Every structure is written in C-alpha cells, then in structure tokens.
Amino acid sequence: MEFSTQSSASLHQIKTSALAIGVFTNQVLTPAADIIDRASNGAIRKVLKSEFSAKSGSHLVLRNLEGIKAERIVLVGLGDQDKYQAAQHKTAESTFAHYCIQAKLSEAVSTLAGVDCNGTTLRQRSSGAAQAVLAASYRFDATLSTKAEAIKLSKYLQWVPRTLVSESKAGLDEGTAIGKGVNFTRLLADLPPNICTPTYLAEQAKQLGKTYPSLKVEVLQRKQMEALKMGSFLSVAKGSVEPPVFIIIKHKPAKKAADDAAPLVLVGKGLTFDAGGISLKPAANMDEMKYDMGGAASVMGSMLAVAELNVNHEVIGVIASCENLPSGAANKPGDVVTSMAGKTIEILNTDAEGRLVLCDALTYVERFKPAAVVDIATLTGACVVALGHINSGLFSPDDSLAEELLNAAKQSGDSAWRMPLDERYQEQLKSNFADIANIGGPAAGSVTAACFLQRFTSAYPWAHLDVAGTAWRSGKDKGATGRPVPLLVQFVLDRCQQAK
C-alpha cells in the first residue's frame, strides 16, 4: 500500500476513482465539502436535505457530479461536530477505506484528515488515516484452502494544503508503521493454537530481529528460566507438552535522544492457549482462548512499529509464553509455588494463571532499570464485565504514568479507562499458607488481579492494561483487533518527544 499526499490541484479538478469528503449532522459542511458543493452547483447540500443524515460511520456515493472530475464523491458521515474526536475520525477513514476495498478501486483520495478534530493534530489524524486503511485491508487466510482475493487498493492519497504536506507525510509514515504492527498482532492472535505455540512466537520474534537491524532478540528456554528461579511462571507450563519460552526483544536506536535515558519496557502475557488448567473453563467459546496471548501479540506488533519508525528511545519487549492445560503434572488448587521474587503464592484457582506468568516477568525486567513498565494482558473476565469491549482497563499507582497512557489512548483513538488500585483491595489476597493468594474472590476481580501484579513492581513506575475485552471480537465478526498497539506506540512516541 502506497500512502502519499495530494496538494497541487483544486479539489474539484482532482481526477480519481473516489474522493472522500466529510459532512457533519445538521447539514454542517466541512471546508472540503463546501468546495465540492460550490463546484457542483449545490449538489451536496441538496443531498443532505433529502437523504443523508451524516451519522458517524455512514456514507453515500455520488457519481459523475457536474463540475467535478472525480468519478465518485463519497460523502462520509462525521456525526456531531462538537463530539468529533480521534475515534470518530478513525471511524470516518475506516468507512471510506472499506468502501474503496469493497468497490475494488485501485486508488483513492481523502480529505478527511483536514477536518479539525478536538484534541488532535494533522499529523495524528494522518496517522489514523493510514492505520484505518491498513486495518480495512487485513484478511486472514493463513489456514484457508482458498486464499482471499487480493486487495486492489494500492494507492491512497491525502489532500492537504501545500504548507501542510510535510506534517501530513510524517503522520502517514507513523500510521503505516502502527498499521503494520496492528495487522501483525492480529495475524499472530488469529492463528490457531496448534500453529501459534510458544515456540512459534519465539520464531516470529527471531524473524523480527532478522528483518529489523535495530531489534536484538533473545529467547530463554526452560533450563534458563529454572536457573532464574521463575517458579511461578514455570508452574503454569507444567501441564502442557509444549515448552515455555521467555522472549526479550530490544530496540536499540543508532542514536538515542539522551544517552542516559532509561528504557521503556512492554511486558506481554503469552498464553497461546488457556484451558484453565485443573480449574477447567466451560466448553462454550473455549476456542477463543487462543486469544489469551493477545498481550504478547501486541508487544510483538508494537516492537515492529517501533523498529519501522526507528524511534530514538530504547524500548524493550518481554514476553512470557506457555500453555495452561489440565494434566497429571498441572498445578492443583491449593498448591504453593515460589516466584522469582522469592514470594510464595497459594494457587486457589489454576485459571488465574496470567498473573502467575506475569509476576516473574515483572521481576525479571528490574535488571533493565526501566523508566517505565507497562504490562499488557487478557487477564480477567471481570474487566469485561466492568468495561465491556470499548475501553481497555488501565491500572497504575503512578498518576503521571497513568495520565500519559490515557493521553496516548485519547490521541490514538485506542480508548482506555483508569480503574482503582487502592491498598484496601490487597486485603482480599491474604493467604493462610503463603505470602499471597492468586485470587481475591469474585468481588472486584480485575482490581485484585492488578493488585497481585503490583506486589512485584516496586522497583519502577508501572502500569497494567487489561485487554480481555478489547483484544478480540466474538460472534460472526470473531477476530483479533490488534489493540492496544496504537495506544502503546503513541505512548512511546510521546516519550520520545519529551526526551528531545
């Protein structure tokens, strides 16, 4: 896919298969829509009065308008002007991209990034445009006998004034990198668990290292993890014949913004299949537990994007990956294991395994003396109950870090909501037989899961993203979303900007 800018011609003189212009509800025209309306003798306003309400996500195709050289004018609904933000812009770009792909067009021009959008810059909107187009282009056919029809859309232009071309181009480059990372994340997560095993994830990480010179990849095997005393993580892996892996991906820029800048660390939960262990999950929808490595996949996708952009800050991705299955060797409710940090853990429910895996990873990353650590995990069904499938759950005792991530979420349109992490919730994790229990009962389940992880993060600023409700969709549209890659990469980019 080629992304570029168009600034040399007046809108009504652009020759293209499809030209996207945005309109708001209540017949409010964007500047681009006003230009086309004037050139077509009021054709746009006439349509808005009679048949198009401009609801967000809607579109209407107008062909062969008098005075317009574009074959099609695609009216894209933007919704209420006062509520138009990054998420609505991404929806608009996605609407246009899906139309172009469905219509089997080879090229198109969009004016949508030029629409003022609350709290965003043209660069950010241009990034969102490229991301939307690449997301619309994603097709999963890796395990299909008949491959998907090739996408014909190969050239996507963004119309902006000549003075804004460089800013637009920078945004398109960022969005292309993020879009590639999102689609890589989706592919890894959508693969079936008999293909995407922990070993397969490690192989894909090594391939990233071969593709991008800035990435250095190391994979720890069971014996090395035993030497590190990762007893909590390894206990989860006991029930499966698939060997566990611990993946470290380091982005080392040629020149950092500051030589003494501490790295940012992303930690991903990589359960390539989670049956719940002895505390077996219900059979219904258990196939979706291949998505329990969504956190790990998002770390891989984020590292791809970071390498594509060659950001001038050291970023480290860490993935702890295994399967959680029932067997004669598996963890049992009541078992007590010892974590890498030396804390003992009573396993009251073997299906609360993600925290057992992550706690050793969070201890391991202390050696990097990080500026901040963000872990990403499809951790709790309780977070889905609390927030549904719109917001990822954000937990952090650090107000500054939490605010950074929330700002990145808003800018990227990859929404998150901060959840409580009060010390009083720690009471629910008390155990009579170990330093800590791995569950705190049904009340505030997502909070107590985060509280468990917090006990292993005192050495650095830390935040936890629970993406159990946002990493994939169920039902007829079943598939990975690639979230929260846009949020994570925006967070990294913002940190790079601060370091300048």
Active site residues: 281, 355
Q: What is the DSSP letter of 49?
A: H
Helix/strand/coil for 472 = strand
| Dist CA 426 CA 430 (whole Å) | 7
As a whole number of angstroms, the distance between CA 128 and CA 221 comes to 38
SS3 of 394-434: the string is EECCCHHHHHHHHHHHHHHCCCEEECCCCHHHHHHHCCCCC
Query: What are the angstrom distances between the C-alpha of 358 and each of 268, 342, 353, 417?
Result: 8, 14, 9, 21
DSSP-derived 3-state class of residue 469 = coil
Q: Which residues contact 331 (CB under 8 A, 6 or more apart)?
A: 235, 236, 238, 239, 277, 278, 337, 347, 350, 353
Task: Tell me the angle at which helices 399-412 and 122-136 cross, rounded to the nearest 10 degrees.
Answer: 70
Of 122, 152, 139, whose CA–CA distance to 2 is shortest? 152
Task: State how far Cα 321 lies from the chain centre.
Answer: 18
